[in-house]
Structure 1
Amino acid sequence: MKDPELDLLLETLSIDSTWGLEKELAEFIADRMEGWGVDDVRLVESMPGRHSVGGRLRGTGGGKSLLLNGHLDTYEVSPDWTRDPFGPVVEDGKIYGAGIADMKAATTASLAVMRRIALSGSRPKGDVVFQGVSCHFEGGVGTRSLLEAGFTADGAICGEPTDNTIGTVHRGAAYLKITTYGKQAHTSAKELGLNAIETMEPILAGMRRLEGTMPYVVHPELPGGPNLNIGTIRGGTKHNQVPDRCEMTCDIRLLPSQDPYDVKLQAEQMIADLKAEDPRIEATVEFSDHWLSGPRLPYEIDKSSPISAAVAEAAVRAGAQPVYRGIQFWTDMVPLKQFGIPAVNIGPGTPPYSWADEWVELAKYREIIDIYAHAVNLWCN
């Protein structure tokens, strides 16, 4: 017995769309939508060589439009896979494949809804818009490029992995790059130099203290305070040279009450206080280029908002219990909000999201298709 919606997922999983390689999957999706009779289908080059794909099913008129957003790019495959990451299989009620949780299952579910409507011969009153975006990991670059290309709507659903719970709030982030400056010298005359790695040491300790002291307001759906990860550190050129610079990058995950720009100022003040004690410290604090490509601001929308209520009712109609749960990571609901589009998130997949032998429950995949389909009927009619 044919199962076109499962087959569609197995096809998308078989295409390697690792971060930077989204074009083939975007072309596949565009070809499928055109074959089903989706009205407006377009590839958009979001960054050089990196394509997103948009599609629009025109409604009969008089209804609100709904946008279904999912990213195509996936993280690099772990070497710990015990099966072919691009040879998807179904075993014991689970579908295995690279990027299925983050987030090909949800993106393909949105595509399956486009297929259902296009082939049904019946259209809702409002338009239904599909966004398959590249460059998500650059901070929503693909979403913004599709919005700028005209693939907009009155409301939106993102499908990041939340185990089919509804997310109306998520953390933001500040990606900081801190550089210390010293003076190069040979080890045999190190007193003539200034070691930038050594002047970085108190800053590292200061950042760890800052994690526990920066102000925030507790959020009931996002337990805990801000959390900080020092991700990279680079300094020096040779073992026998006093390093003239050292660079550290960190990721600070924030609560909705916090502003990344304020956090940067707090880091600068911390370093200024250290410099008052040790004048040798010379350092700069910058946002990383990766953060600047799409600032990771926090997001929150009221649970009583029309789009949230519609998705909750859609879950009920699909036979699921609507559950609200805060999201610990960043989503493309931020660029959607910046374009005036209210959005909520719901999609299959559980932590840790990207891992060896990644899987999603087949039942959750089928459920999310039904939830998206009911959301279209409720919102667009």
Structure 2
Amino acid sequence: MKLDAALISRLRAALDTDAAIDLLRRAVGTPSVTGTEAAFARLLAGELKALGADEIVLDDFAPGRPNVRGLLRGAGEGPCLLLAGHTDTVHVRGWAERWAGTEREDPFGGAIVDGAIWGRGTGDLKAGICTTLAAVRLLSAAGIVPAGDLQFAFIGDEESGEPDTGVSAGIKAFVAEIEAGVVPRPDFAIYVEPTRLNIYPAQMGFLICDITITGRSAYFGVPERGIDALKAAHQVLSAIWAHSAELEARAPHDLVGRPFVLVTGLEGGGYIAVPGECRISLILKLLPGEGLDNAVAGLERAVRGAELAEGITVSFAYPAGRDHRYGGTPSEVSPQLPAVALLTQAVEAVRPDRGLIEGAPYWSEAPFLINRLGVPAVYCAPGDIRNCHTLEEHVVVQEYLDGIVAFAAFLAAFDRSVIE
């Protein structure tokens, strides 16, 4: 179908705004902090059934923690499109206290205030998930059948922060199903992380490193009997910052910017004694094309090159493995891909101020699709990452509704011409 002004007008006229808003509020009203995704997964399975999807499967990737997927058959004349997003959210600690006595006090209330829907998960990323479902509902209301099949995958365990969770267990299970032939391999994918309806074809990679510096504690009155780990941490920090400066001096990526190292934590001492141990935590940003193995080697080489007192030992731990044992790999696809261009056109047709090509200022799970499966994927959805994970999380209602129309337009026009 041709993506033109007539299609946009047809979709706008068919949009049931009340139903779309109700869908997002019900999604927000179903808590799904990482580890407790089951109720929200069941809600989404019900929505997929109501849309007429086949092969709806709730499958545990961990005990009591299901992914949900479904396949909506198209006219049989187009490629397969994957619409994916994570079902889990970060915690709500501090939310009720921040908004006590106001309509926003309940983090799962989905209050509409100042033209926005507020609550945990609105932007990250329940608005994106609901946009995909509402877009399909809109196509049906407008009498439009997509050319190809639509594969939905709503997966858990993307967010980190809760004990023993946040290792992308959900998408690892889903990708394994594709590799095993249980689920069709898509031709293109949209992962609905919040982008303010811009399109992110590239993202940073990352590693988190915990460095433990060990010396020897001693009573404060005889410090010469100890080996000061906190003093050694000064040299280590200087080496880390020098290494960051070297990374930042490299040529930036057009969309993702420059690599760097950010020290995020320092812990040591606390007793009236020579500190025998100190711990430094950091995050290192990688650019597309850079490898995590090389990044780790460079970081450890820089730290070990610091001038440390005799008897000091240094160890490294990498607790945030995702699609790589050390962290998350960077990824990118060409912004010139026809499917990316079509998505840009669809968004711009609805919101001329959006549809910009940008780099993701975060890491999410597109590398599992791009790097592991070879499936081109982008991020695009309503919501602003800058207020996600905060006590200010919200999505502007009009942006959400515009996203539904834009996604529906893209789905209507998505055919073999943008893949072959």
Q: TM-score, normalised by structure 1?
A: 0.89
Q: Deviations over 1:137-183 (max 9, x none)?
A: 33543223222234441100112121111111121112112122223
Equivalences for residues 188-227 of structure 1 within 5 A: 190-214=223-247, 216-223=250-257, 225-227=258-260
Q: Tell whether the 8 Å contact from 1:85 to 1:98 is kept in structure 2 after alignment.
A: yes
Distance 1:168-1:372 versus aligned 2 partners, 3 A rule: same
Distance 1:139-1:253 versus aligned 2 partners, 3 A rule: farther
What residue identity is the alignment partner of 1:362?
Answer: V
Q: Tell whether the 8 Å contact from 2:37 to 2:65 is kept in structure 1 after alignment.
A: yes
Q: Match of 1:360, SS?
A: strand
TM-superposed CA distance for 1:32, in Å, is 2.4
Distance 1:2-1:279 versus aligned 2 partners, 3 A rule: closer
Equivalences for residues 148-187 of structure 1 within 5 A: 148-150=176-178, 151=183, 152-187=185-220
Q: Does 1:355 align with 2:390?
A: yes
Mapped to 1, the partners of 2:406 and 2:167 lie a distance apart of 26
Q: Match of 2:327, SS?
A: coil
> 2:336 pairs with 293, 301, 304, which one?
304
What residue identity is the alignment partner of 1:245?
Answer: E
Mapped to 1, the partners of 2:224 and 2:52 lie a distance apart of 74
- Tell me what 2:12 maps to: none
> 2:127 pairs with 105, 117, 134, which one?
105
Q: Match of 1:307, SS?
A: helix
Distance 1:139-1:113 versus aligned 2 partners, 3 A rule: farther
- Tell me what 1:280 maps to: 311
TM-superposed CA distance for 1:268, in Å, is 1.4
> 2:87 pairs with 44, 68, 72, which one?
72
- Tell me what 1:59 maps to: 74
Distance 1:48-1:255 versus aligned 2 partners, 3 A rule: same
- Tell me what 1:330 maps to: 363
Mapped to 1, the partners of 2:87 and 2:267 lie a distance apart of 31
TM-superposed CA distance for 1:2, in Å, is 7.5
Distance 1:380-1:140 versus aligned 2 partners, 3 A rule: farther
Q: Tell whether the 8 Å contact from 1:216 to 1:255 is kept in structure 2 after alignment.
A: no
Q: Deviations over 1:88-128 (max 9, x none)?
A: 12233211121211211111111223444577776423210
Mapped to 2, the partners of 1:50 and 1:192 lie a distance apart of 52
TM-superposed CA distance for 1:264, in Å, is 1.5
Mapped to 1, the partners of 2:290 and 2:17 lie a distance apart of 50
Name stretches of at least 5 consecutive residues in structure 1 with no aligned partner.
Answer: none
Q: TM-score, normalised by structure 2?
A: 0.81
Q: Match of 1:167, SS?
A: strand
Distance 1:293-1:118 versus aligned 2 partners, 3 A rule: farther
Mapped to 1, the partners of 2:38 and 2:51 lie a distance apart of 20
Mapped to 2, the partners of 1:7 and 1:124 lie a distance apart of 25
Distance 1:181-1:222 versus aligned 2 partners, 3 A rule: same
TM-superposed CA distance for 1:289, in Å, is 4.0
TM-superposed CA distance for 1:188, in Å, is 5.1
Q: Deviations over 1:310-354 (max 9, x none)?
A: 212322443545321222111221111121210111111222323
TM-superposed CA distance for 1:14, in Å, is 0.6
Mapped to 1, the partners of 2:51 and 2:305 lie a distance apart of 63
Q: Tell whether the 8 Å contact from 1:139 to 1:296 is kept in structure 2 after alignment.
A: no
Aligned length, in residue pairs: 378
Equivalences for residues 10-29 of structure 1 within 5 A: 10-29=25-44
Identity %: 26
Q: Tell whether the 8 Å contact from 1:176 to 1:285 is kept in structure 2 after alignment.
A: yes
TM-superposed CA distance for 1:235, in Å, is 4.0
Mapped to 1, the partners of 2:129 and 2:301 lie a distance apart of 43
Mapped to 1, the partners of 2:72 and 2:297 lie a distance apart of 46
Greater Cα shift, 127-136 or 214-223: 214-223
> 1:259 pairs with 291, 296, 301, which one?
291
Mapped to 2, the partners of 1:121 and 1:174 lie a distance apart of 47
Distance 1:246-1:217 versus aligned 2 partners, 3 A rule: same
Mapped to 1, the partners of 2:78 and 2:400 lie a distance apart of 27
- Tell me what 2:163 maps to: none
TM-superposed CA distance for 1:191, in Å, is 3.5
Q: Deviations over 1:346-365 (max 9, x none)?
A: 11122232322321111110
Distance 1:174-1:346 versus aligned 2 partners, 3 A rule: same
> 2:281 pairs with 227, 249, 271, which one?
249
Q: Tell whether the 8 Å contact from 2:47 to 2:133 is kept in structure 1 after alignment.
A: no
TM-superposed CA distance for 1:244, in Å, is 4.1
Q: Does 1:85 align with 2:118?
A: no
Q: Tell whether the 8 Å contact from 1:66 to 1:380 is kept in structure 2 after alignment.
A: no
TM-superposed CA distance for 1:193, in Å, is 3.5
- Tell me what 1:37 maps to: 52
Q: Deviations over 1:240-262 (max 9, x none)?
A: 45554332221122322533322
Q: Match of 1:168, SS?
A: strand
Q: Deviations over 1:281-332 (max 9, x none)?
A: 3112332245556831112211111321221232244354532122211122
Greater Cα shift, 202-211 or 118-127: 118-127
What residue identity is the alignment partner of 1:20?
Answer: G
Q: Tell whether the 8 Å contact from 2:211 to 2:314 is kept in structure 1 after alignment.
A: yes
